[in-house]
Amino acid sequence: MEPGNQRLFLGLIIAFGFGLVLGAALCRSGHKKGRAEGTNGDEAFLKGVHYILSNDHDHAIEEFTKSVQVNSDTIETYVALGNLYRSKGDIERAIRIRQSIILRPKLDAHIRLRALVDLGYDYRKGGFFNRSLSTFLQVIEQDPSNVEVLEELERLYEEMKDWDKAFKTRQKISRIAKGDHKNIMAHHLVESGKAQQQAGDPAKAKSFYNKAISTHKECVDAYLHLGDLHFQNGDFKKAISIWEKIIQVSPRFTFLAYNRLEGAYAKMKDLRPVEAFLKKCAEANADAFTHLAIAKYRSNEGDIEGALKEAEHALELAPSLWEAARFKGDLLLRKGNSDEAMAAYTALLERLDLPYLRFQCANCGFEPSHLQWQCPQCKKWDTIRPMDASAEKPVLAV
């Protein structure tokens, strides 16, 4: 069962247990009419549970509706109906049910709070973000340690691009829930920096990027954007020193810095340091991108044979890397090997319909068209990774 259905099912079992106890009490006290009605309600309730287990929500709604018609005091059945309507996309009816529960006099405080949480989910599912936000904030006022609701608030703030509040909410979560939360907080800081950079305040942006790195030293996105700021200011040496740190903190993503480094060294009119850096990259993580970068460097230095060797290594590691196939063809033409060049270009044509680099979320399996630090589907941070071209599975983080 889906997690939502599991929670729903457990709630229904509890409600049914209460129903059995109530039914026994009615039998002992001789209330024949109450006993008959209770039996009918229990039968409808049980059928509803059966339909949930069969993932037949339409019939489940029908049976639970019969159950509440017999006994309108069973709160758990109303909760189940609300969840079922939400799952079907009938948000208005789900909201009305939650509101009717909340307005009941003498309702247990825990049940009212749970109904508020469910109402927040209903608003969110219906696209009423402000109402959802307001409802979840009401819950936190009454239950400040509710991690489930704090995480929902964080997601809302992220979708609303309110990175400061998302950051502060994650801080609260980190004080309650076990685990390492530094990478998430660092990403929130980076996003705040990007917002400041777009607003024309590079000084504030720089401050956020530095704070992100202090918070989580493996935040590759922070290094990339901090280096970009220095590059834009003409401080090429500083930009290079920042980008080169990526090889130390996360070698798997060093390829993101290759073009930046080449551009910075070209601005300085000195490509010699590139060779030493690429050798370091090859020692730390000899992936296809590293070999392709070395091939380009060898080519610029006039070493066509060495460049060809590196391009071939790149294609061995990632056969779908069409950029390496194109570059190999260019090198063969420069050597005058037109037949071999034609063969390389023919192979290139076969690869044009393949993405030269694929990514996949290690948490939910989603495959985005490009690298993203937060999965668009499951909303987890740092779970999207390059896929191993030969194994067709996400490369493990290093």
| Rg (alpha carbons) of the chain, rounded to whole number | 30
Task: Tell me the C-alpha distance between 184 and 168, whole Å.
Answer: 11
State the CB neighbour count (10 A cutoff) for residue 308: 22
**94 within 8 A of 120, measured Cβ to Cβ:** no
The 359-361 sheet, strands edge to edge: 359-361, 384-388, 393-394
Q: What is the 3-state secondary structure (H, E, C) of 7-44?
A: HHHHHHHHHHHHHHHHHHHHHHHCCHHHHHHHHHHHHH
Question: Which distant-in-sequence residues (6+ apart) come within 8 Å of 77 by Cβ?
Answer: 12, 15, 45, 48, 64, 67, 68, 71
Closest CA to 379 of 118, 175, 137, 157: 157
How does DSSP classify residue 396? P
Question: Which distant-in-sequence residues (6+ apart) come within 8 Å of 204 by Cβ?
Answer: 193, 196
Q: Give me the helices (H) in the chain, please.
A: 3-29, 32-53, 57-70, 75-88, 91-102, 109-125, 129-142, 147-159, 163-176, 182-198, 202-215, 220-232, 236-243, 246-249, 255-267, 272-284, 288-300, 304-317, 322-335, 338-351
Buried b / exposed e across 157-185, counting CB within 10 Å, b at 16+? bbeeebbebbbebbebbeeeeeeebbebb
Tens-digit pLDDT profile for the chain (398 aa)? 444 555 555 444 444 444 443 343 333 333 434 444 445 556 776 777 776 677 777 777 777 777 666 565 677 777 888 888 888 899 999 999 899 889 888 888 999 999 999 999 999 999 999 999 999 999 999 999 999 999 999 999 999 999 999 999 999 999 999 999 999 999 999 999 999 999 999 999 999 999 999 999 999 999 999 999 999 999 999 999 999 999 889 888 888 888 888 888 888 877 677 777 777 777 777 778 888 888 888 888 888 889 889 888 888 887 777 778 778 878 877 777 666 656 654 554 444 444 456 789 999 999 998 889 999 999 999 999 887 544 444 443 33
Give the distance, in angstroms, between the CA of residue 96 and the centroid of all CA atoms in the same chain.
31
Pairing of strands 384-388, 359-361: antiparallel
Paired residues of 386 in beta bridges: 359
Q: What burial class does residue 6 get, using C-beta atoms within 10 Å of its C-beta: 0-12 exposed, 13-18 middle, 19+ buried?
A: exposed
> Which is it for the CA torsion 346, 348, 354, 358, positive or negative?
positive
Which pLDDT score is estimated for 317? 83
First-to-final CA distance of the chain: 34
Q: Which amino acid is at 258?
A: Y
**240 within 8 A of 246, measured Cβ to Cβ:** no
Which pLDDT score is estimated for 343? 64
Extract the tokens encoding 141.
């006022």
Question: Which distant-in-sequence residues (6+ apart) come within 8 Å of 158 by Cβ?
Answer: 166, 188, 374, 379
Which pLDDT score is estimated for 68? 61
Q: What burial class does residue 310 get, using C-beta atoms within 10 Å of its C-beta: 0-12 exposed, 13-18 middle, 19+ buried?
A: buried
Tokens 């390059």 locate to 386
Tokens 């019969």 locate to 66
